[in-house]
Amino acid sequence: GAAPHTVIPSGSPARSDVAAKFGTYSYLATAGTSDYLSVTSHSDITFLTGAFTVDFWWRPTTIAIGRQTIISAAVDGQWLGLSYMGSGAKLNLEVGGTWSSGGLADPNGIKTDYAADTWYHIAIVRGSSSSDEIKLYQNGVLDISYDQGSTSITSTSAMQIFGKWGAPNTWYPSGYMDE
């Protein structure tokens, strides 16, 4: 967008100098805490139409725990989100309209060899305004391709980063995020 967006901390998210991909610091999330970051709702991040890219570096500190929210723009069953499913050891790209319309899609990635304390570059991309296909790349390799078809991504909620999947779900992660 034309203007920078405000990042709002919730709880006590930690800036860490223990593991940084770029520069001196990264964001540290500790499983089981209610700390996360959010970016207020704005037309740049509603994902309604048009091309977009969301990318970042992720370094899990543990891969054994259950579901971990990495990013989420979710409210009332309308969402675009990414979580790590510890039970299946895969990334899970979630795209949907509304629960009542059956717009749920949970495409799982194919990569299963994630390791703790290893950096991964993650990119979620919709390449053009006329495309219905959303792709997830992990270290430059296509991991998930999902054709959303007529399922609109209509979330206008704040984007929550590394910790909360809308209300009432939490699914807090354990690891670092950078970029």
Q: Is 58 exposed, middle or buried (0-12, 13-18, 19+ CB in 10 A)?
A: buried
**Positions of the chain with pLDDT lower than 50, given as ranges:** 98-104
Cis-peptide, bond into residue 60, ω within 30° of zero: no
Q: What is the pTM (predicted TM-score) of this model? A: 0.81
Element (DSSP H or E) covering residue 144: strand 141-147
- Digit-coded pLDDT (tens) for 4-54: 778 888 877 788 888 889 889 988 877 667 778 877 776 666 665 667 788
Predicted local distance difference test score (pLDDT) of residue 13: 78
Predicted local distance difference test score (pLDDT) of residue 9: 82
